[in-house]
Amino acid sequence: MSRLELLLLLLIPHVLVQGQSQLSYEQARQAVLTAEEELMTGGHTYLSTLEAKVDDIFMEYKLGELSQGFRNSEQNAAALHFFKAKPLIDRSGIFRFLQKMPKGAVLHLHNTASVSSKWVVQNMSYMPGMLRCTTSSGRSVLTFRRTPQEHNCQSQYIRVSEERHNSIDPQIYDQNFERLINLYTPVPELEYPTITQVWDKFQDMFDVLGDAIAYLPAFRAYHWQMLEELYNDNVMYAEIRTSCKKLYDASGRTFPRERTVQELYALNEKFTRLHPDFLGIKIIFAVFRGYDVDTIKKSVEEFTQLHESLPHFMVGFDLVGQEDKGKPLHTFLSALRDFPPTARFFFHGGETNWFGASTDTNLLDALLLNTTRIGHGYALAKHPILLNAVKTRQIAVEVSPISNQVLHLVWDLRNHPGAQYLALDVPMVICSDDPGFWNAKGLSYDFYYAIMSLAPNNAGVRLLKTLAWNSIRYSTLTVEEQTRAFQILELTWSRFIDKVLEGNVF
């Protein structure tokens, strides 16, 4: 049946369609349901016999978990805030499946919030020389600088090792330490009643940890761990947003940004050599959107130099920070004009609940500036012309479900606009944004919400496979790199399918 006939069917019920034969009510009903299923993301993705078998198993688990949630809304992870749902997700069969499933790439991830907070406490905070101080607003700042400066600290610097040693219980000390870099609370609705409260704490956490990560030995260990956590979560490639902060070492020496990029490049080379089925990372230079036009202009110049020396590694540019508080993209047009033609924009856009406010219009400017993908695109559903452009021009939306929930755009993720993007087959990829700052790790938790909350009940392996493949297709891997990525993904995927059928996943 054609789209037109389906439309007629719903516009004028009981008309004759399909030539002269009257459809029965049940046939008409089924025709519409089938058409919607085929329209959505993955609707035409082919499944082999083995994949179809895996899909049957997957659907049994999925429908089981959903109907449990339907009967008991207090245990319905798909509808709950991640902080409340995490223990349930950790016990879920679907989650185990998603952890082992090759997920392709994560295309929206901020380096300094990428690693689990547990590792930061267990490893980085035990590195010799870490100091802590308290600012006038009561926030902690961590650093390894011997002669710290510029932190607006009110208190003296104290050695973390000494503080821990003098504490009543080092374990409790570590728990409290973790709270400095993790938004987790059992009662987010009480602790962060407004978007401003959660964003203030969130933005603060970058300042708690940022200077400690810029310490060369910590920088190396932290980013190595970032790669480990991605790899162990069966992610094969990542595009990392980073400000490329200047590094320093134990002797007090500081290094220019070129060195930061070189360090990332070297870590990436080393990691991919050790793990031939991991394609590594590329870098998107991310600048704080609160800066003035001249500062952004200088950042574009700096980016251009970095890009020219490593064009396939330093691939793009973005502006970051709370959109509602920062300046709209339109303000920066003059600063963005001299952008190198070989580089690309990857703008955050529409990470807001405001409709028609200047920040909401960032989506329009991002598209006019020829953005390659859109970060979040949460507000996109409200703009039919932009949505159409995104579909026609195949600009992928980087959907980060948990981020949007924790940062106060939506409580029940079944109401996330990503559900509409899936239904309309808008190009999209699933991303994790800042997993380390909200008690997540890797990409699987976001995939859990994607398949359990954003997707319709009957969506299974066909959709998951499409999302994984999308993440390579919409990446900035070169043509040759993409070919290799798809080869590796085909292989790891078929191994995964075998494992499920052997009973080694659920």
Ligand X SMILES: *[C@@H]1O[C@H](CO)[C@@H](O)[C@H](O)[C@H]1NC(C)=O
Q: Which residues are catalytic?
A: 351, 376
Neighbour tally for 162: CB within 10 Å? 11
If residue 6 lies in a helix (H) or strand (E), which one and from where to where?
helix 3-11
Contacts 24+ apart (CB under 8 A), 405-408: 405/81, 405/82, 405/449, 406/81, 406/82, 406/83, 406/183, 406/188, 406/198, 406/202, 406/438, 407/195, 407/198, 407/199, 407/202, 407/351, 408/192, 408/194, 408/195, 408/198, 408/199
Minimal distance, residue 395 CB to ligand X, in Å: 8
224 binds ligand X (CB under 6 A): yes
Which of ligand X, Zn ion, none has residue 123 at its interface (CB below 5 to 8 Å by kind)? ligand X
126 binds ligand X (CB under 6 A): yes
Task: Map residues 320-349 to x or -, x wherever contact with ligand X holds by CB under 6 A.
Answer: ------------------------x-----
Listed residue (266, 302, 263, 268) closest to 285, CA to CA: 302
Nearer residue to ligand X within complex by CB, 225 or 444: 225
Cβ–Cβ under 8 Å, residues 357 and 383: no
Nearer residue to ligand X within complex by CB, 344 or 383: 344
Positive or negative torsion for Cα 470, 80, 241, 271: negative
Nearer residue to ligand X within complex by CB, 89 or 121: 121
Which of Zn ion, ligand X, none has residue 224 at its interface (CB below 5 to 8 Å by kind)? ligand X
Q: Which stretch binds ligand X (CB under 6 A): 122-130, 236-244, 327-335, 423-431?
A: 122-130
Minimal distance, residue 225 CB to ligand X, in Å: 6
Nearer residue to Zn ion within complex by CB, 320 or 335: 320
Which of Zn ion, ligand X, none has residue 164 at its interface (CB below 5 to 8 Å by kind)? none
Nearer residue to ligand X within complex by CB, 258 or 481: 481
In angstroms, the CA 140 to CA 202 distance is: 13
Which of Zn ion, ligand X, none has residue 433 at its interface (CB below 5 to 8 Å by kind)? Zn ion
Nearer residue to ligand X within complex by CB, 15 or 368: 368
For the record, the structure tokens of 179 come out as: 């709270």
Minimal distance, residue 58 CB to Zn ion, in Å: 30
370 binds ligand X (CB under 6 A): yes
Measured from each CB, the residue nearest to Zn ion is 433
123 binds ligand X (CB under 6 A): yes
Among 116, 182, 225, 322, binds ligand X (CB under 6 A): 225
User: How, if at all, do strands 140-143 and 158-159 pair?
Assistant: unpaired
Question: CA angle at residue 307 from 303 to 313, to 5 degrees?
Answer: 120
Among 106, 221, 244, 461, binds ligand X (CB under 6 A): 221
For the record, the structure tokens of 380 come out as: 């996109």
For the record, the structure tokens of 80 come out as: 């709950």
Minimal distance, residue 109 CB to Zn ion, in Å: 8
Cβ–Cβ under 8 Å, residues 70 and 393: no
Task: Point out which residues bind ligand X (CB under 6 A).
Answer: 122-123, 126, 221, 224-225, 344, 370, 372
